[in-house]
Amino acid sequence: MSAEILHFNVFADAYTPDPRPIFNGVPSSVRPLYKSPDERVIVTSRKYPEGADYRLGADVPHDEVFYLVDGSVTCTPEGGEPSVFERGEVIYYPAGVAARWQYSPSSQHLAVFWGEQPIGLTAPRPS
């Protein structure tokens, strides 16, 4: 069996509306690209048409690297100072860091998640 090359255009191709309001009720959509067989590595692209404002606790068990394709995001670690990231930046978010994330309207990112446990994904997974 040969490997399949997957691709999509982050600006033009369709995304799946996320069925759960996981970002304080703000709509988002996602385009899954890859998941490992053990579901400990996932690659997705996500859009926040209205922006998003949410907190992640220190109990987040996975690491994340994301590339900000469009818009901006302000990250304020618990007890720390806010950092504003703009389109074109790559951000590493380690497991166990509590932070508030505020995404601008029409923001979009491409993310890689990895961890010791399977990582849940709220939209259909690639087959």
For residue 21, the model assigns a pLDDT of: 67
Q: What is the pTM of this model?
A: 0.85
Is 30 in contact with 116 (CB distance < 8 Å)?
no
Average pLDDT, 10 consecutive residues per value, the chain (127 residues): 79 85 78 90 91 88 94 96 98 94 94 90 43
For the beta carbon of residue 26, count every other beta carbon within 10 angstroms. Answer: 17
| In this structure, CATH architecture of domain 32-115 | Sandwich (2.60)
| Residue (of 125, 127, 100, 102) closest to 113 by Cα position | 125
Q: What are 69's two structure tokens?
A: 């394709």
Tens digits of residue pLDDT in 51-72: 989 888 898 889 999 999 999 9
**CA-to-CA distance for 103 and 111, rounded, in angstroms?**
14
**Is the distance from CB of 33 to CB of 66 less than 8 angstroms?**
no
Domain coordinates in residue numbering, the chain: 32-115
Residue position matching structure tokens 């302000």: 74
